[in-house]
Amino acid sequence: MLAGARAMMPHARIPRPVSTPGEVVAIDFGAALHGDETDTCSSHARGEPAALPREPHAMVAEAFAAAVAACRRGAAGGDVHRAAADVIGRAGYGQRFTHAVAHGCAPQSHEPSRWDASSAAPPRAGRVLATEPAICFGGVGLRLEDDVAVRPGGGQSLNRAPMDLSR
């Protein structure tokens, strides 16, 4: 669990065991089964979110949905990235979206393939991508990540965990 701006730092060490009330935390986890690994992350507030995060969180959720829909056979990896980037850019957070929208997942949770704006190769049908649009602003990191199976008509999110901000 990473809190505040550190929520945007995958694989960072936890500097303290708890967050403060209202602080946004990122919970990043995975599992391994029969040689395949998963990679999932969601952002939640401890109690009522402080200040501003509800609207940007809804926008990141919309960007996630757009990226999932773009995970279809024949679409270039850059198309998946741009689907999320367009939503984030229209909301005025384009400068805050600074990393690739997805990476390969299964058999390893972090395969070397990255899907960013310059990715020309299409993800093949049946491939699993860890899809994760994220932004950081004003000391808050918001990231939603799930494993998405590439399907002919659009991606299929493989996780059923809630991604809402308040828990």
Mean of pLDDT values over 133-154: 85
Contact 22, 4 (CB under 8 A): no
Mean of pLDDT values over 107-121: 71
* Residues near 147 by beta carbon (within 8 Å), at least 6 away in sequence: 38, 39, 40, 105, 106, 128, 129, 130, 131, 157, 158, 159
Global pTM value: 0.82
Mean of pLDDT values over 16-26: 68
CA distances from 68 to 17, 80, 81 (A): 33, 8, 10
Instruction: Supply the pLDDT for residue 95.
Output: 92
Predicted confidence (pLDDT) per residue in 27-85, tens digit: 777 887 777 777 877 777 777 776 566 788 889 999 999 999 999 888 888 999 999 99
Instruction: Supply the pLDDT for residue 65.
Output: 95
Q: What element of type H or E holds 79?
A: helix 77-90
Positive or negative, the Cα torsion across 85, 63, 48, 23? negative
